[in-house]
Amino acid sequence: MTTDGSTIEEDRRIVRETLSHYSGHRGALLMALLDVQYKLGYIPETTVEDAAELLDYSHPEVWGVLTFYSDFKVGKEAGHFVDVCIDTPCHVGGAREIWSALEEARKSPEGNPSFQLRRTSCPRLCSQAPLIAVDMRWHGRMTVERAREFVAGLD
């Protein structure tokens, strides 16, 4: 059982079903992996084996894509992922303060350690800066107070 209550078998079924839609489309590896991450919020390590089999890539080719792009989150280390965009518009808008507040909320005794805090790059929503994503869903015009409310509601 994973930390969000789903089973490893259930996640693997979702991965294989998602990847199967890209079978026969050479060059679709990146899009297929992004689709998996969008659906699950992370990339299970078994995805390497499944992508190699279903999409006709070698294991090193799949790992190469997963490790080259910093947006891929391989493995599930926490129940939830909270990403903070750190690119210029978000930085100017207060991303550093939001990051610090979330880090403090995660580490405090009454805080919520069930989320993994990660820095990320531009999701191309600069007009809504600063941005955070909670489990791959972006929220713009973020404030320290709203960010704290988001993570306080995670279980």
Tell me the domain boundaries of the chain: 8-68, 80-152
Q: Indicate the pTM of the whole model.
A: 0.59
The pLDDT value given to residue 154:
84
Which homologous superfamily is 80-152 in? Glutaredoxin (3.40.30.10)
Sign of the C-alpha dihedral computed for residues 85, 89, 94 and 100 taken in this order: positive
Query: Which residue in the block uniquely carries the two structure tokens 């531009």?
Result: 122
Nearest to 120 by CA among 81, 146, 150, 148: 81
Express as a percent the part of the chain with pLDDT over 70.
Answer: 93
Res 3: pLDDT: 46
pLDDT surpassing 80 at residue 78: no
The pairing of strands 115-120 and 80-85 is: parallel
Angle formed at CA 85 by CA 84 and CA 87, multiple of 5 degrees: 150
- Residue 111, pLDDT > 80, answer no
Give Cα separations from 57 to 25, 29, 33, 39, 52 (angstroms): 11, 8, 12, 21, 4
| Predicted confidence band of residue 145 (pLDDT cuts 50, 70, 90) | very high
At residue 113 the predicted structure's pLDDT band, cuts being 50, 70 and 90, is low
